Structure 1
Amino acid sequence: MTTRPTRAARARLATASACLSALLWLPQSPLAVADPALEQARIRELLTAALPAHANHPQIELSNLAAACEDPRPFLTHPEQRSYGRVLVGVRCGRALHYVQAKVSVMGTYVVSQQNLAATQVIEADMLALRTGALEKLPANTALSVKEVVGLRAGHAFKASAPLITTALRKTWLVEQNHPVAMQFRGAGFTLSRQGKALDNGYLGDEVRVVAERGKLLRGKVTGPDQLLVRD
């Protein structure tokens, strides 16, 4: 004899069937529908934004990309390093973390010396020139702008046309306390030069105190080795 389901059993069966139908109509998870190109686009945007000023025509190759992620958040694992050449990029995806290898090629300007530089020589702007080339092929820490190196002292000799490496340059006093200095006064249509004695040590661009003739106390901006631009 066949037993017919009770009213309560039929109700439970109907409820289960309705729940199953609802589950089948739920939208797919965000991870399943994520665009796999989004990670690449965000990494390229990050690397491009980190390139030096005046860098041109970047070409970026990526490897070790992960599966699609709804909201990839890339970051530079070593922000203090240069953003061209071989760069390691971290990518957070929810609680997961993976790393992408990037190879970045870019054209840009860099600094070379127009003359041979002796060890300990102080670098001045008229000794320098800018060249254009593939930045990723240059030695690490190559100076990319003149202002990075003017006023520094060479840690070793440099040949003419060689890229200047910032780690081989040393910050040094251009004006030293109690040493004689050449003071320059500029006005409308005239320039005067006088001798004085510095009362402070100073790097390029620093303002230091200086004693002029007859003991007059002035202040001047360091413009070069033992040179001050003075305002009365």
Structure 2
Amino acid sequence: MQTLKRGLVAALLLLSPLAQAEGLQDRLTAFFAEKLAGFSDDVTVTVRTPPNLYPTCDQPSFSVVGFTKLWGNVNVLARCANEKRYLQVAVQATGNYVVAAVPIARGSVLQTNSVTLKRGRLDQLPPRTMLDINQAQDAVSLRDVAPGQPIQISMLRQAWRVKAGQQVMVVANGDGFSINSEGKALNNAAVAQNARVRMSSGQVVSGTVDADGKILINL
């Protein structure tokens, strides 16, 4: 009987760390699944930190350390009432990302049929791969892109709404008044970017480009 008891105790001691590891992994998977909702519907988390460094409470709160992506190798801060533990985890996430649907030449403006969505492992993609296909619409390619190649945000720029040398309308808005005048743009700028304008008087002003190509200044 004593031998049986000792065997049961030994088995429980072996199972306890395993159960703790599975419980922590399940909670981390739920944490990242919530964070990645809308991007990935298939998330798996593997804890790389040794079990002796796990948080000691049953339900720690989690936060991602630093400004980092939410897949691949990620550092997580686990908080209990009176302790903090840093965990290293590997996050696998599957979802849709943007790829070239046709050959895209450098300098060309992307159209609706230029790109498409592909499903795959987000954690295995190049940095800053585009996930929202709407971001590519009317953007300008900065390099040649082959069909099927993932589109990285750094490969594109917004189309210029205002070009240097172009005559533009400047709209200055103040408290209860608005003044319109024309000038010449001194730099290229996309919507929501800053543009400098030389007015007919020679004065140089700067403002934000709107969707109509007007330069908006708030006084």
Q: Give the TM-score normalised by structure 2.
A: 0.59
Structure-2 separation of matches of 1:125 and 1:203: 19
> How far, CA to CA, are the matches of 1:67 and 1:203 in structure 2?
48
**Alignment partner, residue 135 of structure 1:** 122
| Alpha-carbon offset, residue 178 of structure 1 | 7.2
What is the Cα deviation at residue 168 of structure 1? Answer: 2.5
Name the CA shift for 1:61/1:120 in 2 (closer, same or farther; >3 Å): same
Q: 1:96 & 1:67 partners in 2: Cα distance?
A: 8
Taking the aligned partners of 2:75 and 2:146, their CA distance within structure 1 comes to 33
CA contact (8 A) 1:39 1:69 kept: no
User: 1:163 aligned to 2:150?
Assistant: yes
**What is the alpha-carbon root mean square deviation over aligned residues?**
3.5
Q: Which 4+ stretches in 1 moved above 6 angstroms?
A: 199-202
Q: Deviations over 1:76-105 (max 9, x none)?
A: 113x43212221111122343221122122
Please list, as runs of the form range in 1=range in 2, the aligned pairs for 1:137-156 lying within 5 A after superposition. Answer: 137-156=124-143
Q: Distance in 1 between matches of 2:25 and 2:94?
A: 21
Identity value in percent:
20
Contact 1:39 1:68 in 2 (8 A): no
- AA partner of residue 171 (structure 1): Q
Q: Which consecutive unaligned segments of at least 5 residues does structure 1 have?
A: 1-34, 181-198, 207-219, 227-232
State the partner residue of 2:63. 75
Tell me which amino acid in the other structure corresponds to 2:60. P
Is residue 47 from structure 1 mapped to residue 32 from structure 2 by the alignment?
A: yes
Highest Rg: 1 or 2?
Answer: 1
TM-score for both structures, normalised by structure 1:
0.56
Q: How does 1:62-101 map to 2 (within 5 A)?
A: 62-64=47-49, 65=51, 66-78=54-66, 80-101=67-88
Where do 5+ consecutive residues of structure 2 fail to align? Answer: 1-18, 168-183, 194-209, 214-219
Count matched residues.
162
- 8 Å CA contact 2:97, 2:119 repeated in 1: yes
- Number of the residue aligned with 2:94: 107
CA distance change for structure 1 residues 124 and 110 in 2, over 3 Å: closer, same or farther?
Answer: same
CA contact (8 A) 1:151 1:204 kept: no
What residue number does 2:103 align with?
116
Compute the displacement of 1:129 (Å): 0.8
Q: CA deviation at 1:109?
A: 0.8
